[in-house]
Structure 1
Amino acid sequence: MCQLSLLTFRKLDLMLTKPFKMLVLLTLLVTVFITLFSFQPTKEEYYYNANYIKKAAEEFNKEVILLQKIGRGFQAGTVEKDSLRNAVLTTRLAYKKIEFYLDFQFHEYVNSHINGAPLLHIERTGTSPNVLPPEGLQVLDELAFAENPEEEKTQISSIATKLRNTYGILYSSLANQEINKKELIPVLRLQLVRIFSMGITGFDTPGSLNAIPEAKSALEGMLQFSQENKKLFAKKDFEFIQQKLKNAIIYVEENKNFNEFDRLTFFREYIDPLYKSFGGVKYELPEFLTYTSAWNSESESIFSEDFLNPYFYTELQKEEDSELLKQLGESLFYDPMLSNSGTMSCASCHQPELAFTDGNAKSMSSIQGQTVLRNSPTLLNAVYSDRYFYDLRAYTLEQQAEHVIFNTNEFNTAYSSILDKLNQEKKYQNKFETVFGKPTIQRENLSRALASYVLSLNSFNSDFDKYIRKETNTLNDEAKQGFNLFMGKAACATCHFAPTFSGLVPPYFSDTESEILGVLDKPNKIELDKDKGRIANKIESEEAWIFEKSFKTTTIRNSALTAPYFHNGAYATLEEVVEFYNLGGGEGQGVEVKNQTLSPDPLDLTEKEKQLIISFLKSTTDISSAIK
């Protein structure tokens, strides 16, 4: 701010006439006024209490209050189940209109109390896990639309009351919440990811399958918000986004049938073009996304190779990586010198022509005549996970390598032994010196090299990927129909989330799910496989009964090359796998499974539909990064 000294005013007083002094004084006051308020436009331009968000939050609050009232009436027997169901649907539609903001601003809270998956989970405090029941809208959707919701009327009323209380706390904090509206542009892009990968798949609506109307509500929220914030967009961008959103809303309005909805067309014509267009708008990336999400905000397609940042999942940093480091890692990957016996390399169990699997039910052990505990999973896109191995016992790629090195059934060695061998080899001394500037080989650099190679094994250029990105218009009709079944009626995508088609959870892609499927010892033998799974991963905080026989949800990409299937390798063909899911897993086939997370209800797929799904699975084959 400008300041004038007392001496300056005295000099002006002596020099100027009275009228002129008045003019000068007026000029000074105007200058000070302008200077003071010149600092305000930044706040006006970038920060505000959004009218749309305020109104949408208030509407959701009204519906939550009404839902609690109806829930209590249902418990008392004064409200019919149809009224309860309508209240749940209406409340969820109101939530969808503000979901993009609430889930961004309060993600952990929303996931725990407002709209988390209807699954038991653990509280990760201390060393002893505390099993907590689920709560929120998804649970209410599942309970209200059960065949006999009256059997759970007390629980329904209790959860509706919890929802009112938990959202009430959140809602009361919104009035004074200042929002950087430029930060909400990337959040809107993530809402498109959420609509496609979790919304229209039925993940969010496990009971009602009201996914298509909810997608419409979410799109309407995005439309209204962008209309309110027109100044954020260049005129051309704004007009395109508005029209595309309106057309997308019309599309879902005209195609309401969940099983028949053409998700492939919806993505190619509406979701991905909008994703790209919002990406062209100038925005500020929220700190939340910078540190807790692997999403690459500069990607142009949800199915692009660079949609996710692989370095989010490794100790290796992008600036440390290079082509030379990858080549060094590749040499080490194929070298049996790393094992104690000198006969086993990483490639022994991960063969590139088999999408980095080995074709065995369970991989061969370093001990003659024995096998390791489980089937060998693909390494293609393996980096895209926050946990590794079927039982999730490793937290990074580097830690995964350590398990293999020390395992007596695999490399059966130690870093010190490997380093001694490598330091005696001139070729490796030269390679490490070229990459790291010194011939002495260290443990950290060995880990960096292996991680560099494995994270380079990406697989996003299949026939399906090229088609869904509109790089080609060629994809057989069977694969198209199979994709729509996979994303809809067959419910595959409620666990195998797009675009990785694994258990990596959208839209932030920072958590990996495990599931209890009730995998059988053999397909035609009605007996559970004996592997205890995640509960036995030796992580003390996960020694909870809800993880017994729980296994990582691996990718279905390249599955045409990765037989046999599941952690025990007991299923020889894709036909057997699809039929297993069609029958409702182990529980659906009459086996007692504790806490099966897969629905035991049969999918009622026809033989033709099963083959269509397999056609889609085959269309995801891409081992171009492995075979060069």
Structure 2
Amino acid sequence: MKRRVIFLICLAILGAAGSGFESSLPVYTRQSDTTIFKVPANFPKPVYDFKGNRVSDAGFRLGRMLFYDPLISRDKSISCANCHQSFAAFAQLDHAVSHGVDECLGTRNTPALFNLAWQKEFMWDGGIHHIELSPITAMTNECEMASNLQEIVVRLNASEKYPALFKQVFHRDAINSQSVFRALAQFTSMLVSADSKYDQYIRHENNVVFTTDEQAGYAIFKAKCSACHTEPLFTDRSYRSNGLDKHPDDIGRDSITHQADDIGKFRVPSLRNVEVSGPYMHDGRFNSLKEVLEHYNTGVVSSPNLDPLLKKNGVLGIRLDHTEQLRLLAFLKTLTDTKFINDKRFQDPNKIKSK
């Protein structure tokens, strides 16, 4: 209930400002050295309409500064980047579940952050419906940043550096919560991952070809995995139960919809960068992709809401023999976008100097 109230308040803030979102493909050029938003040739049109929050060079840099600043947590100890690590495709490599202030551990795995402009809903349960509001849960959750919007705005207005930076971007004398959300969105919406070996193969770039195992793995993927992990985003953006527990401790999507049919269902994550973004599942219970594939092979348990695709012809799960698993792993590794992971534009501005 608390999350829903916060969401409605924030939605009202955004609506009151008259965001003026209209359907259009965003095309931005930056004068010098930082970011150009471009829809990859093999991608669909983004969900996020940038018209109400046009990205600028100053806005992108401000958003990146906020993303890496612990000032927005209650005790000024952690930033967004503590849980969203650039080298892990902005997931959290060293914890199964979120790790916040006072060493508090949450209940769900930290999701990777990329291609957010193509997402319709956010969080494992889909409790947030807009990219600009996606940071609200982390900011206010008692086991994450444990802060509140009013305190964050007060701190930013009282700081030496932020008022002038916000005024440059949003042309207002005072910082408000809307401008905080929009500044962060100018950074996170630019986290586009679309230059993996798979992408170059699909776009016929640089004479990239798959190895025999990668090609065989791709065929297995299309036959056994693509119904949920749909190309090119490698998610169909649905909510499904994948047979982790007969009686799940975390009710998942039901916490938002209050529908019994949604108990134990979670958002289907993208498989892009899956090689580097473990641990896996909503609770981080699997440490390796081998464990994930073996779960689908032999570990799926029956439950009232188990996805129909995992109980076809009286067989639970997705049968994958040893060779198929190795070939599928070979293909999944072609989804790793090292250029994105190592892109200095997205890393800590206090440690990386912009070119």
Structure 1, unpaired ranges of 5+: 1-289, 297-302, 504-511, 521-526, 588-592
Return closer, same or farther for 1:403/1:604 CA change in 2, 3 Å cut-off: closer
Note if 1:516 corresponds to 2:249: no
Instruction: Tell me which residue corresponds to 1:221.
Output: none
Taking the aligned partners of 1:552 and 1:484, their CA distance within structure 2 comes to: 24
RMSD, aligned α-carbons: 2.2
Note the C-alpha offset of 1:305: 5.2
Note the C-alpha offset of 1:545: 1.1
What amino acid is aligned across from residue 599 of structure 1 in structure 2? L
Return closer, same or farther for 1:330/1:429 CA change in 2, 3 Å cut-off: same
Instruction: Tell me which residue corresponds to 1:556.
Output: 271
Counterparts of residues 31-46 of structure 1 (less than 5 Å): none
Instruction: Tell me which residue corresponds to 2:86.
Output: 352
Note the C-alpha offset of 1:304: 2.9
Answer yes or no: is the 8 Å Cα contact 2:53–2:182 preserved in 1. Answer: no
Taking the aligned partners of 2:181 and 2:330, their CA distance within structure 1 comes to: 38
What amino acid is aligned across from residue 472 of structure 1 in structure 2? N
Match of 1:432 among 155, 160, 166: 166
Note if 1:502 corresponds to 2:235: yes
Taking the aligned partners of 2:194 and 2:52, their CA distance within structure 1 comes to: 20
Taking the aligned partners of 1:295 and 1:426, their CA distance within structure 2 comes to: 36
TM-score by structure 2 length? 0.79
What amino acid is aligned across from residue 254 of structure 2 in structure 1? I
Q: Which fold has the larger relative contact order, with Cα–Cα distance below 8 Å and residues 6 or more apart in sequence?
A: 2
Structure 2, unpaired ranges of 5+: 1-21, 27-38, 345-355
Return closer, same or farther for 1:477/1:323 CA change in 2, 3 Å cut-off: farther
Note the C-alpha offset of 1:533: 0.7
Note the C-alpha offset of 1:319: 6.2
Taking the aligned partners of 2:221 and 2:172, their CA distance within structure 1 comes to: 51
Return closer, same or farther for 1:471/1:318 CA change in 2, 3 Å cut-off: farther
Answer yes or no: is the 8 Å Cα contact 2:243–2:300 preserved in 1. Answer: yes
Note if 1:486 corresponds to 2:221: yes
Note the C-alpha offset of 1:501: 0.2
Render the CA deviation track for 1:529-553: whole Å, top value 9, x for unaligned.
Answer: 421111113xxxx211110000000
Match of 1:364 among 96, 99, 117: 99
Answer yes or no: is the 8 Å Cα contact 2:43–2:233 preserved in 1. Answer: no
Instruction: Tell me which residue corresponds to 1:532.
Output: 251
Note the C-alpha offset of 1:356: 0.5
Return closer, same or farther for 1:519/1:536 CA change in 2, 3 Å cut-off: same
What amino acid is aligned across from residue 322 of structure 1 in structure 2? S
Answer yes or no: is the 8 Å Cα contact 2:244–2:301 preserved in 1. Answer: yes
Higher-Rg member (1/2) = 1
What amino acid is aligned across from residue 199 of structure 2 in structure 1? D
Instruction: Tell me which residue corresponds to 2:16.
Output: none
Note the C-alpha offset of 1:616: 0.9
Q: Which runs of 4+ in 1 moved over 6 A?
A: none
Answer yes or no: is the 8 Å Cα contact 1:304–1:469 preserved in 2. Answer: no
Answer yes or no: is the 8 Å Cα contact 1:459–1:623 preserved in 2. Answer: no
Match of 1:575 among 265, 269, 290: 290
Answer yes or no: is the 8 Å Cα contact 1:456–1:625 preserved in 2. Answer: no
Taking the aligned partners of 1:420 and 1:624, their CA distance within structure 2 comes to: 37
Note the C-alpha offset of 1:407: 1.4
Instruction: Tell me which residue corresponds to 1:599.
Output: 310
Deviates more, 1:475-484 or 1:414-423: 475-484
Return closer, same or farther for 1:339/1:623 CA change in 2, 3 Å cut-off: farther
Render the CA deviation track for 1:119-150: whole Å, top value 9, x for unaligned.
Answer: xxxxxxxxxxxxxxxxxxxxxxxxxxxxxxxx
Note the C-alpha offset of 1:372: 1.0
Render the CA deviation track for 1:154-193: whole Å, top value 9, x for unaligned.
Answer: xxxxxxxxxxxxxxxxxxxxxxxxxxxxxxxxxxxxxxxx
Taking the aligned partners of 1:344 and 1:415, their CA distance within structure 2 comes to: 16
Note if 1:307 corresponds to 2:43: yes
Note the C-alpha offset of 1:578: 1.1
Note if 1:466 corresponds to 2:200: yes
Note if 1:399 corresponds to 2:136: no
Note the C-alpha offset of 1:559: 0.5
Report how many aligned residue pairs link the two structures: 303
TM-score by structure 1 length? 0.46
Counterparts of residues 57-76 of structure 1 (less than 5 Å): none
Taking the aligned partners of 1:371 and 1:484, their CA distance within structure 2 comes to: 39
Return closer, same or farther for 1:319/1:562 CA change in 2, 3 Å cut-off: closer
Q: Which has the higher helix share?
A: 1
SS of aligned partner of 1:479: helix
